[in-house]
């Protein structure tokens, strides 16, 4: 089998997605997601100008060698743009391998470890009451795990909830430059315990609760938060602090038993090596798209398993349905799967373009049994929604200091 063409398609059905289509002389093709939020065109150019020309004519079945060629072979290894380009290509190659074998991807990985993939949904609102109203609806819809986020009194906008009450997921293409949000640790600590106290009171003890701090706290503040929330029994506390200095998580760990999750911005196994090896975290949240595809995620999952760390792949709306499908296969297989973030099936336009057939029932996803990833992409429909430049927000402290978003 030979690769005859690699197409890179950037479309914006409500938000931007970079899709790779690898076409072969056998009639089989594979699909991959290479979306890097706010830097989409950098990956598209990398793929078109630097990666695709080296792969045309190669055997798409040699996934491992192609992965090494694009990783070791480039000299400038790692980095978000390179690893997202590799992630998209790798996914498409596994899609082809599955189609050639007539098997869904999870079978190629080793088969099922579970009947379905447990999902967590998002509840956000302008105050505790509104957030818990949203959470209740999700519980009624069958979800067993909910991420709880609320606006902070006195701050115009914060992660997940902004001033005009549209969340940042909907801002793509609507603002010419990055919007700015404000952060105050003092004000956050003034509301966060009440949010979880009320959540337990209204939702009961069975539902799993999660929370994303989006890197806003220092390690000692995270330690304090973890301790404060221990009695509300969180499934995990996500991105409490930035961990460029992986050792800094020791500070959090030595103070609290609240389980910790991190990794959505990580690109290689090296980014989480110390965190995993020293058991400083409980869930690793890397995504197939940003961490080098199925080939890399399989290694990360096995590595994490040795240290009792579970995988909980990133599932934000900026990962396309192709990545969602890849994660469902990985999660169906991985013995150390924890939970999958899930934000719905995307806009109507999105569902017109990406045709997937996994099923969701009682807060669980059931992977497609079709060969490969089990997803299709309508190129003609995608043409209707061209790329729109857009940015994620930035965050500042009340005195104007630029802070982590």
Residue 339 gets the label, from left (phi > 0), alpha (psi -120 to 50) or beta, of beta
Q: Is 373 within 8 Å of 330 (Cβ atoms)? A: no
Which of 21, 216 has the CB closer to ligand CS2? 216
Measured distance CA(353)–CA(34) in Å, rounded: 16
Q: Is 392 in the site for ligand CS2 (CB under 6 A)?
A: yes
Q: Is 90 in the site for ligand CS2 (CB under 6 A)?
A: no
Residue 37's binding partner among ligand CS2, Mg ion, none (Cβ under 5 to 8 angstroms by kind) is: ligand CS2
Bridge partners of residue 260, in order along the sequence: 237
Q: Do the strands 364-366 and 29-33 form a parallel or antiparallel pair, or are they unpaired?
A: unpaired
Q: Which of 132, 318, 320, 373 binds ligand CS2 (CB under 6 A)?
A: 318
290 has catalytic annotation:
no
Q: Residue 364 CB, nearest distance to ligand CS2 (Å)? A: 19
Q: Is 33 in the site for Mg ion (CB under 5 A)?
A: no
Measured distance CA(382)–CA(12) in Å, rounded: 8
296-303 long-range CB contacts below 8 Å, 24 or more apart? 296/67, 296/83, 296/86, 296/87, 296/90, 296/268, 296/269, 297/326, 297/330, 298/109, 298/330, 299/269, 300/269, 300/272, 301/330, 301/334, 301/336, 301/337, 303/269, 303/276
What 3-state DSSP class applies to 264?
coil
Residue 208's binding partner among ligand CS2, Mg ion, none (Cβ under 5 to 8 angstroms by kind) is: none
Site for ligand CS2 in 18-37 (CB under 6 A): 37
In the chain, the N- to C-terminal Cα span, in Å, equals: 45
Closest Cα to residue 29, out of 349, 371, 405, 364?
Answer: 371
Q: Is 318 in the site for Mg ion (CB under 5 A)?
A: no
208 has catalytic annotation:
no
Q: Is 251 in the site for ligand CS2 (CB under 6 A)?
A: no
Q: Is 262 within 8 Å of 230 (Cβ atoms)? A: no
Name the catalytic one among 122, 208, 211, 214.
214
Indicate the burial class of 308 (C-beta count within 10 angstroms; 0-12, 13-18, 19 or more).
exposed
Q: Is 16 in the site for ligand CS2 (CB under 6 A)?
A: no
Given the rule CB under 5 A, which of 158-166, 212-220, 357-365, 370-378 is the region that contacts Mg ion?
A: 212-220
Q: Is 212 in the site for Mg ion (CB under 5 A)?
A: yes
Q: Which of 95, 221, 282, 341 binds ligand CS2 (CB under 6 A)?
A: 341
Q: Is 264 in the site for ligand CS2 (CB under 6 A)?
A: yes
DSSP string, 41-77: HHHHHIIIIIIHHHHTTS-TT-HHHHHHHHHTTTSS-
Residue 221's binding partner among Mg ion, ligand CS2, none (Cβ under 5 to 8 angstroms by kind) is: none
Residue 290's binding partner among Mg ion, ligand CS2, none (Cβ under 5 to 8 angstroms by kind) is: none
Q: Which of 181, 212, 221, 282 binds ligand CS2 (CB under 6 A)?
A: 212
Q: Which residue is nearest to ligand CS2 (CB)?
A: 316
Indicate the burial class of 102 (C-beta count within 10 angstroms; 0-12, 13-18, 19 or more).
exposed
Name the catalytic one among 46, 159, 232, 283.
159
Q: Residue 37 CB, nearest distance to ligand CS2 (Å)? A: 4
Which of 24, 37 has the CB closer to ligand CS2? 37
Residue 392's binding partner among Mg ion, ligand CS2, none (Cβ under 5 to 8 angstroms by kind) is: ligand CS2
In sign, the C-alpha dihedral spanning 40, 378, 176, 266 is negative
Given the rule CB under 5 A, which of 130-138, 195-203, 208-216, 325-333 is the region that contacts Mg ion?
A: 208-216
Task: Determine the size of the site formed for ligand CS2 (CB under 6 A).
Answer: 8
Which of 144, 314 has the CB closer to ligand CS2? 314
Which of 212, 318 has the CB closer to Mg ion? 212
Closest Cα to residue 340, out of 375, 297, 371, 376?
Answer: 297
Q: What residues make contact with ligand CS2 under the rule CB under 6 A?
A: 37, 212, 214, 264, 316, 318, 341, 392
Catalytic residues: 159, 214
């Amino acid at each position: 089998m030979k690769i005859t063409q690699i197409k890179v398609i950037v479309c914006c059905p409500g938000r931007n997605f970079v899709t790779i289509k690898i076409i072969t002389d056998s009639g089989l093709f594979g699909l991959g997601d290479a979306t890097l939020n706010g830097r989409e065109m950098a990956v598209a150019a990398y793929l078109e100008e630097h990666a695709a020309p080296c792969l045309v004519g190669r055997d798409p079945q040699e996934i491992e060698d192609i992965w090494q060629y694009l990783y070791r072979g480039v000299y400038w290894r790692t980095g978000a743009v390179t690893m997202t380009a590799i992630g998209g290509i790798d996914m498409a190659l596994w899609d082809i391998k599955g189609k050639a074998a007539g098997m869904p991807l999870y079978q190629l990985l080793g088969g099922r470890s579970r009947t379905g993939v447990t999902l967590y949904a998002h509840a956000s609102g302008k105050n505790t009451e509104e957030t818990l109203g949203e959470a209740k609806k999700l519980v009624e819809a069958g979800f067993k795990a909910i991420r709880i986020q609320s606006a902070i009194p006195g701050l115009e906008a914060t992660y997940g909830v902004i001033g005009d009450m549209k969340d940042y997921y909907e801002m793509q293409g609507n603002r010419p430059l990055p919007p700015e949000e404000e952060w105050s640790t003092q004000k956050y600590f003034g509301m966060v315990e009440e949010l979880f106290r009320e959540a337990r009171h209204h939702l009961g003890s069975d539902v799993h609760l999660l929370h994303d701090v989006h890197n806003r706290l220092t390690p000692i503040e995270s330690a304090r938060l973890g301790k404060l929330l221990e009695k509300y029994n969180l499934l995990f506390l996500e991105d409490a602090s930035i961990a460029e200095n992986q050792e800094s998580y020791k500070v959090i760990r030595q103070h609290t038993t609240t389980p910790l999750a991190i990794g959505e911005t990580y690109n290689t196994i090296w980014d989480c090596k110390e965190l995993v090896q020293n058991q400083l975290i409980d869930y690793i949240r890397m995504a197939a798209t940003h961490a080098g595809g199925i080939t890399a995620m399989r290694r990360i999952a096995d590595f994490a398993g040795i240290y009792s760390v579970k995988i909980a792949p990133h599932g934000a709306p900026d990962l396309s349905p192709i990545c969602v499908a890849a994660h469902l296969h990985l999660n169906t297989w991985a013995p150390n799967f924890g939970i999958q973030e899930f934000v719905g099936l995307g806009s109507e336009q999105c569902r017109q373009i990406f045709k997937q057939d996994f099923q969701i029932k009682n807060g669980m996803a059931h992977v497609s049994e079709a060969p490969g990833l089990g997803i299709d992409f309508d190129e003609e429909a995608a043409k209707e929604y061209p790329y729109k430049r857009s940015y994620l927000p930035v965050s500042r402290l009340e005195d104007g200091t630029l802070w982590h978003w």
